Amino acid sequence: MDIWEVCPQLVCLNQDGTYYEGYLSVLDQEFHLAITLPPNRLLKDAHIDVEPKVFYLLQEYQTLVKQRLNQCSGLATFLQELKVLLEQVLDQPSQEQYIRVSSQLIDELNSINWERLVYISPTFHEVHISADDEHQRRHILKVQLHSEHPRVAPTCNHDLPSKFKFVWTPSSTLKDLLSQFENTIQSYQVFWDVMGEIDQKTWVLEPEKPNYSATYRRIAISSNSSIQITLDPCHPENLAQCQFMGADSIVDPLKQKLNFNLENWDPHRTVLQNLEDLMEMEFPSPNNTKKEEFIGECGICYTYRLDMELPTKVCENPQCGQPYHQSCLHEWLKTLSTSRYSFNIVFGECPMCTKPITVTMTTGD
């Protein structure tokens, strides 16, 4: 069987016989495709480009298509099997509506650049589109299309630090939606730059893997203390909300310096520069320290992360400074007959050094 017998409109366009481009005729429809064979001409290493309609028609059969590429004896045989598969798919009663919807959606996707498509569901109800900001940070807009698209507005998931507000009318398209998303992205450039500096120049303990929607960072100060800052993504230059964690002997002097120098907060300087200036200290840098130095395991369960809880309760004894999970320490102190209770606070002894330690009982205990 020769290729021209199966696909008369598929033409070899180079002397090496490794590049074919043209059309595949199936049930009175013409589908564009291009096939690139490797120098060894092994079909299993071939690269096949098809038009969007074919891609979606065969999305549920990708495993089968790859299997046939590995097993077919030649290109002509594979093309014949591909035609048979397309005929079976197109002959299904549901395909008329399927193709009508996909054609409408494909027209919209073509208008925004097909390469920006990250994902589309087999049912055409969900589309993921990428958008790069001016610093080449990639953002993904996940669009859930209504069954009556475009008459009814879609719902969107994203990695923005606040709600994505967009305008939608029955005549709106995905291109209109993406344009509004890109404009919104631009408004957060300063916020992401500020967070990027913190991620690069300090040891961020939380979030473990920051994404673009996270508005806070817990930054290591020492082996048993840290500060959690929360920024307004619309005004990242403003004074950050600060919460200190760790031994009072370490964090209290820093709190006092920060409060005393608050009036010196300069919106023209970065958040990191302001914090270091106001607290008169420098955060440990990844250039000369290791993150392990600031991740202290709980002295009771010997783990760092317990479900979503971190060991933020630290013994105040300067010679000890052992961190604990609040829940672990509470359970430990409850077993000791010497522990005392006052409202929701438990007073007891540090499991490591036996010096006084307190813990606030969690809700439900």
Amino acid 3: pLDDT: 87
Topology annotation, domain 296-360 = Herpes Virus-1 (3.30.40)
Topology annotation, domain 108-186 = Ubiquitin Conjugating Enzyme (3.10.110)
Which comes out higher in pLDDT, residue 309 or 80?
Answer: 80
Please state, in angstroms and rounded to a whole number, the distance separating the CA atoms of residues 69 and 47.
Answer: 10
Confidence of residue 161 (pLDDT cuts 50, 70, 90): very high
Locate the domains of the chain by residue range: 3-92, 108-186, 190-293, 296-360
Examine domains 190-293 and 296-360 and report if their fold is the same.
Answer: no
Q: Is the model's pTM score more than 0.85?
A: no
Amino acid 277: pLDDT: 95
Amino acid 20: pLDDT: 93
Q: pLDDT tens digits for 277-301?
A: 999 999 999 998 988 788 778 888 9
**Alpha helix locations (H) across 137-245?**
174-186, 189-201
Percent of the chain scoring above 90 in pLDDT: 48
Please state, in angstroms and rounded to a whole number, the distance separating the CA atoms of residues 231 and 163.
Answer: 15
Q: Hey, which residues does 245 pair with through a beta bridge?
A: 226
Choose which CATH entry (3.10.110.20, 3.20.20.140, 2.70.40.10, 2.60.40.10) describes domain 190-293. Answer: 3.10.110.20
Contacts of 345 (CB under 8 A, 6+ apart): 358, 359, 360, 361
Percent of the chain scoring above 70 in pLDDT: 95
DSSP assignment of 3-38 equals: HHHH-TTEEE-STTS-EEEEEEEETTEEEEEEEE--
Highest average pLDDT, of 25-34, 83-92, 97-106, comes from 25-34
> What's the 3-state SS for 48-61?
EEECHHHHHHCHHH
Give the Cβ contact number of residue 49 at 10 Å: 12
195 neighbors 188 (Cβ within 8 angstroms) = no
Q: pLDDT tens digits for 96-112?
A: 545 555 667 778 888 88
